Each structure stands twice: as C-alpha cells, then as structure tokens.
Structure 1
Amino acid sequence: MRDLLRDILRDYSGFVELRYHSKVFRSVTAEKGRIERTAVRRRSGVGVRVLEAGTWGFAATGDPSPAAIRKAIAEAQQAARASADCRRQKLKALPSVSLAQGEFCEPGVEEVVNKPLEAKIQLALETEAQARKSSARITSASCTYNEIYEEKAIVTTDGADVAFRLVRPELRIQAVAEADGQLSSGTESIGVTGGWDCLFRTDPLQMAEKAAATAVDLLSAGYAEGGWATVILSPSIVGLLVHEAIGHTVEADFVLAGSVAAGKLGQRVASELVTLKDSGRSEFMPGAGGTLPVDDEGVPTQTTTIIQNGILVSYLHNRETAAHFGVEPTGNARAWEYADEPLIRMRNTYIEPGSQTLEEILASTPDGYFLDGARNGQADSTGEFMFGVERAYRIRNGKLAELLRGVTITGNAFEVLQSVDAVSRDFLWDLGSGHCGKGQPAKVDAGGPYIRCRAIVGGRQPAS
C-alpha cells in the first residue's frame, strides 16, 4: 500500500498527505460461565489531507484503488478552497521536521494475531470462572478480552514515507459481591501494546481473585471523613491525574482555546520533584498501551518533557500548532480511523520515578490516606478534577489501616502537583485498558511512581 500511495503522490505539487489505515477489532466477553458476546469488526481506507490557500481540506475513501484515492484528493482540495475565506489565520507553511521513512513493526503482532480464537475464548471463560468461585459472596462476574490490530502507511509530498504494524490486547475483569442487600464491585484490567506474554505479566487468574477480593472487602468497609488530607497516590491515580487534569491542558489546540496552561511556559507549576513526560515509547517497563513509532502526520514519536523539575517547558504539538508556536512538532497528531482527521492526542503520559521506596514514604506519613485503583471521573481545562477511588486505606502512624469505600479525590491538578513532597522509585503503567475521548477515541497509557501530596478527599462529613 505504501508503494501505491507513493506512486499517486508523484503527480501532485503542494502539500498532500495520504494515510492508509486498516484496523481489526476483536472482542470476547464471558459472563455466568458462558460466552455472552464475540465480535470482529474491520475498517480500512485512506484519509487525505491537503494544505491549500492557507487551510486544510480533508476527505476519505473506503476504496483503496488509485482512482478513488485521486478522487478523494480532488475533494480535499475543493474543501480547502471552499473554506479558505472563512479561516482567520492562514497556515502559510508547515515547520520543517525530519519525517519518518521505512517500515516498523511493534513486538507481539504475530503472537497475538495468530493466537487461535479458541484460546481467547478459553481465557475469558477461565478468568470469569475464577472470579466467581473466589468467594461465596460473589454474585456475578464478567471478563472481556479486546484486541486491536492496526496497519498504517503514511506518505506526504514533503518527505514522510513510512508504514508500521502494531497490536493492542487488553483484559478486564469485574466482580460484584453482595451481603444483606448491599452490593460492591471490584475491577482489574490491563492493556498493552505488545504480545501475549506482555499482556500477562500479571497472571489473569490472580487478577480475577484480586477483583473478587476487592468486591468482598468493600462490603464491610467504612467511609472516609471528607476534607483536605495528605494522600499517597498509586500509579493508577497518578496516571489518571496527569492524563486527564494535566495532559489535556497542555495539548496545544486546547492551549490556543484558553486552557489553564496558556502563557505559563517557563513558570513553576509543580514541585521540583515532579518531571512529567509524554512519549511514544514505553519508558521504564515494556508494553505501555499508547506506544507507537510514528504519529499520523509521519512525525517520529519522540519523548516530550512537559514539566521539568516543576517548570512547564513544553506543550504537545502537531505540525500546525508547532508552526504557530515556532517549535518542532512533538509527534502527537493521531487519528482513530482512516476517516478521522488527526488531532493532538497524548501517547504514554507519566511522572518520572524518584528516589524513595514506597515503604519509606508510608513510614514517614503519620496521618493520611493511601489511594489505589482509578475509577471514572472528570477534569476540565482549568485543571480542576474529581476522580473516584476503588481502594482507599487510612494511614495511621506510618502504616496502612482500615479499608474505606466511596472515596473521591478532588482539587486543582497543578496545585496538587505543587504540594508533592515524596516520589517513589517504583513505576507502573496502569491505564492501558479503555480509551481516551476527545471528539474521537484514542488508545493511551499513563502512570508513574507513588507520590505523596495534598488533596481534598471526599467522604462523609463528621457529625457536628
């Protein structure tokens, strides 16, 4: 396909970008000892962008024939010309950058794609059964195995000429416990870019047992007292915080729209213990779920330092916003499917590990909470956030005490990061399952070390 795209572009001047994208989704869900759903969905085609009259034109076709692709180029050119008068700021030229060339294949592709469907079905059935039999109090459980296999070829008139393949498997287990009419749930999940062995660096049966144990333990858990508190955040909570409440605010299109990070380059926004990065690579450990070698503009996905020792030093860019800010693009342009235009999206976002052990941080915390297991929440362009926590433990005299339920964590992400006074040397990617949403989905990952900071813990208010 790459050769075909290259041959077509020889007939065009100006800027034209052709992106072939083939995507295969596979999914298996087991519940109550049986397979509830199996699905396979395939999508492939070519997305076309042109830069003409200072603006973009986009078109797409599900027909990969030369005639259909040429027709899509003409449609994109027509769209650019028609909208040019409506664009206030013209994009005169894209910044010069070393664009990717060659072919890449992320590890694990053949291992996962060639794994028989029967093996994936058996995995879901055995894992779901393990969750149900872990305790008599488990009333229901489910296990879903998902897999996304992608092939891409990106060719542009200014030098990109690249193709790559990757696969992203993931597993999610949920268990529900009941006692005296009260329900609670526990969830364990993992998602990676890589092979079968990478996905199961943790035994799936152990994941099932942990999900069931969490559901059962939460039945008898009490509630936290609401208010400001010292908290130790696990890598899953750290990942959710830096992705949702920091990462989106530094995506350059959001910056231009007025996010809280606008105008703050060079300013202190976090503790000097905090260095925050976004990378197309899987740093510190293999398999991060947002790994990719090249973005959808053909820019290599290097590691970008966003915050260096507490100072905001960079935004995340595509080629257009890089031109606006006079910097190099960071390789963050991503499209979900061939018919989607590339948007600025994160890849793998993380805080770098520090020098302390988790045990040392706990021992030096006389009073507070240990928060683990990210649940859904929300954040906005001001950095304000509220996240649910699956497992929260009271910290008393440097030791973990009772388990608590129904806990939330709230605050302004930049203020929380400014209060960081301890960062562990432990590191974990912990958000590789699921999707990030921003007009279109994207597979990402996030994580980091354990950190100690100050935040508002949501719970029951003490009686007056």
Structure 2
Amino acid sequence: MSDAGALDSLRSLVASARATYAEARYHARTVSEVNFASGRLERVRMVENAGCGIRVLVDGCWGFSSTNSMAKSDLKDSLAQAVSMARVLGRSKKHKVEGLAESRMAKGTFAAKVRGDLAGIDIEHKVRVAKEAEAGARRHSKAVKTASATYRDMLDHKVIVNSDGAAVEIFDSKPEFSVVAIAREGAKSVTANEGIGITGGWDDLFKKSHLEYAEAAADKAARLLKAKRPSGEKTTIILDPGMVGLLCHEAVGHTVEADFVLSGSVVKDRLGQKVASDLVTLVDSGRSDISENAAGTIGVDDEGVEAGRTAIIEKGVLKSFLHNRESAQVFGTASTGNARAFTYSDEPLIRMRNTYIEPRSDTLEEMTKETKHGYLIKGARNGQADANGEFMFGAQEAYLIEGGEVKELMQGASISGNAFDVLKSIDMVGNRFEYDIGTGYCGKYQLAKVDGGGPHVRCTAIVGGIQ
C-alpha cells in the first residue's frame, strides 16, 4: 500500500468509528538475521510482516483488534470487532477508563537518522561480516574454543492516525551485532561477549570494525579464564556505563512506569521526595540525548504523542512517572510519550525508551584514585529486579581496586541491593557518557527495543561471586 493510501484509508476508518476514541496503526517490518557459530552458518533469514492494529475506547473500555489485510472491508471488520469487544467489557467491567489526557498530537513524517541504508546492504554481505567475526574470535586466542557472531536488523514503517488528530508516518532502522566467545581449559569454561545495538544505519553500527568486537570478546574470555572470583562484601563500586544503564532500566525504570505505580510499586507515594543523591539526574528519553544512535530512540509513540525527554529524578528528587495518555489522565498530568507496541498485533503499553543518568564532572581516574578498596564493575549481563527496587545483576568483569589503583581481574561477579539505596550512595558521577545496553530487549508482556547508559558512577552495593 502506498504511504498516501495508508494515511487516507486510516483517516477514513477512524472517522467512521462510533467510539469515544479510535486509533489505527499500520506497521510494516522487515527483519534480517544471520548467525555463524563454530565455523558454520546456523541461521539466515529475512522476514516481512505488515498489518494494522485498531484500538477504540467505548463505554469506558478498550477494544483492540488487528488484521494483516489493508483492504477496506477487512479494516472495517476489524474496527467492528474492536468496538464489539469494548462494548462487551463495558457491560461487566467495574473499573473503567476515566479518559485520556489531552496531548499535542504529532503530524508529519519522522525518520531515523541513518548513515548507510540497511536496505542497501545485501544478505551476502551480512553473512560475510558474521562469518569473519566468528572466525576472528577463534583465531585471536587459542583459549577460545567456541564462538558465535550474530547480525540482526529491523526496518520499520508505520502510519498512525487517531481521532484526536494524530497523523504521522514513521521510518525506523535498528541494527545490532554481537560476538560471543567461550574460552575453555580442562573442565573450566568462561563466556564473554561484545556487541552493539543502535538506531541508525550500517555505517553507524560499524564505526568500529566487526573484527574489533570479535577480538575484544576473545581477549576478554581468555583473561577471565584465569581470573579468581570475588568474595562477598558490601563495598564501594564503580559502575561502567552498561551497568549504570542496566540499573536505570531494570531496577529504577520499571518502578516508575505508571501502570506498575498504580499496582503499588515502591515509589507510588514518593513524587517530590528525595530518592537519590543530589548528583543524580535520571532520564528516560525518546531522543538520543548526549550521544548519538541510542537503540531505544523513537520520534513518536504509538498513541501519536511526540516522544521527548522525561526527567524521572532531578538532582536526587523524584519528579515524574512514565505515562501513556490513560495513566496521565489518572495522575492529572501529560503523557510522557511512553506508549509503545512491538508489532501491529500488539496493544500499546507503557514502556521505556533510552534510560540513563546524566554525566557530571568527575573522571574515572579520579574515582579510582579516591577509592581505597572496592571494585570496578564492567560489562552488564542479565539480572532481575522487583517492584521494591531490589535487584541482582551479573557482570562480565570486576577489577579489584586497592589503594586507589586497579588491580587484578575477577570473574563471575554480581552486584545486588536496593536501587534507591544505591542511588543515594552515589558520591561521584563521571564526565564521559555512553549508551551500552542496546543489544538487549525489554520483555514486559511484549518485546521492546530499549537502551540505557550513563557515565561511570561511584556508589555502594553488595558484590558477590556467581558460581
């Protein structure tokens, strides 16, 4: 379907809806993926999906339906199904939608800034890059016995129209690349990875060569194979940008998503209160602030609201939750542009975008020099956090700090604690900023591409060794 045709069809559809509110979201996605492992091409695929998600508000209840056909008759049938479902809910549901916060609806075209159009890179070239990186990781170190390299990209085209005036067309481009190296010695093995995920094009993704990522992963795995494990203790730690991003997203960001707040998260009654050190300004933004190409960058959310910058914590004070239009109405505020849907067949949910701590003036060298005993923690792994802000995260590397100097490398480290206690303990914030969790996806009921980061920060938490 042509772009103009999609806009016209969706405008007509929305205008015909007998509903308090109606939105139609056409979404076409092309995904390509390549994986090389142990010298073999394990996976190569290209998938295209397209369809339209239709959401209506009728009798205080939501109705949602989707179709993979853009034929007018099928769109009308899908709209009718959404309206019917809302009416059925309306007859029995006690707690109904109070309304939608007034929001400035976006209009026009929004496109990701791209250097090197991904559509112009053929699949053979993507295969070659993955093949060379996988071989390069094994070649770089004799300790590395197994390696894999994965390239993936998503090219999105959306058209969003709603009854409150939104009429936008969106073009997005999100590639990612990662290398995993496994070093072995006897029965002992260690896994290390290096990667990058961004919003942008091929040249944005590979500012560093694919072989640099391969060699870095292999070198890290080989060094970790010889490393000891840290002993458990509560101590001073310096977190790298990836660990800061993981903390911001998992341990803080989810607690301030308004749907979780309404369910009773730890911050429910703490707006305007001190929750962190004066040095901490923690932000969630649809823009790629401070540094380019953040993976969670979006111009407009899936309710047609421009996705700007939201200061969650400002100089230690909790200033805002993250909202869609429904929750914003409940809290008497404006939408923060955080309504996101992963595919056309998903309903928009409150989701983060790029979540980070703003940089300040300290250098990593100063932080290290002023640390008598502690650890430099690098390389975010997976972890878990709950609605109270309690978390445990794994790290790829932990360097012992003694007397202001970085000493030996430790493997299998974890950090844990309460996120807000950790934020309150921050006494130094670095001056160099980086996004560093862009290869990951948030999995709150449906996937979402997100990013996070910051500068290095010095704080206090529990360090332990994962067996």
CA distance in 1, matches of 2:78, 2:273: 45
Query: 2:181 is matched with which residue?
Result: 175
Task: Give 1:283-362 correspondences, 5 Å limit.
Answer: 283-362=289-368
Match of 2:16 among 11, 19, 27: 11
Task: Give 1:64-143 correspondences, 5 Å limit.
Answer: 64-108=70-114, 111-143=117-149
**What is the TM-score normalised by the length of structure 2?**
0.97
Match of 1:160 among 152, 160, 166: 166
Q: Structure 2 stretches of 5 or more lacking a match?
A: 1-5
Query: 1:195 is matched with which residue?
Result: 201
Does structure 2 retain, via aligned residues, the 8 Å contact 1:226–1:460? no
CA distance in 2, matches of 1:229, 1:203: 37
Q: Offset at 1:8? A: 2.4
**What is the TM-score normalised by the length of structure 1?**
0.97
Query: 1:42 is matched with which residue?
Result: 48
Q: Offset at 1:109? A: 7.8
> Are residue 249 (structure 1) and residue 255 (structure 2) matched?
yes
Change (3 A) 1:184 1:341: same
**4+ residue segments displaced more than 3 Å:** none
Query: 1:157-184 CA distances to partner (integer Å, 9 max, x unpaired)?
Result: 1101001111100001000111122111
Task: Give 1:416-435 correspondences, 5 Å limit.
Answer: 416-435=422-441
After superposing the two structures, state which structure 1 stretch, 110-119 or 242-251, moved more: 110-119
Query: 1:326-354 CA distances to partner (integer Å, 9 max, x unpaired)?
Result: 00000000001111110000000000001
Amino acid in structure 1 at the alignment position of 2:380: A
After superposing the two structures, state which structure 1 stretch, 284-293 or 1-10, moved more: 1-10
Change (3 A) 1:110 1:78: farther
CA distance in 2, matches of 1:2, 1:311: 42
Does structure 2 retain, via aligned residues, the 8 Å contact 1:269–1:414? yes
Partner SS, residue 207 of structure 1: helix
Q: Offset at 1:110? A: 6.5
Amino acid in structure 1 at the alignment position of 2:15: R
CA distance in 2, matches of 1:226, 1:9: 59
CA distance in 2, matches of 1:416, 1:186: 26
Task: Give 1:257-296 correspondences, 5 Å limit.
Answer: 257-296=263-302
Amino acid in structure 2 at the alignment position of 1:190: I
Query: 1:74-105 CA distances to partner (integer Å, 9 max, x unpaired)?
Result: 11111111001333333243111111001111
Change (3 A) 1:310 1:333: same
CA distance in 1, matches of 2:460, 2:15: 58
Does structure 1 retain, via aligned residues, the 8 Å contact 2:109–2:169? yes
CA distance in 1, matches of 2:158, 2:229: 49
Q: Structure 1 stretches of 5 or more lacking a match?
A: none
CA distance in 2, matches of 1:147, 1:86: 43
Change (3 A) 1:245 1:460: closer
RMSD: 1.3
Query: 1:100-134 CA distances to partner (integer Å, 9 max, x unpaired)?
Result: 00111112286111111111111101111110101
CA distance in 1, matches of 2:408, 2:115: 43
CA distance in 2, matches of 1:434, 1:231: 24
CA distance in 2, matches of 1:256, 1:239: 24
Amino acid in structure 2 at the alignment position of 1:253: D
Query: 2:214 is matched with which residue?
Result: 208
Partner SS, residue 129 of structure 1: helix
Amino acid in structure 1 at the alignment position of 2:10: L
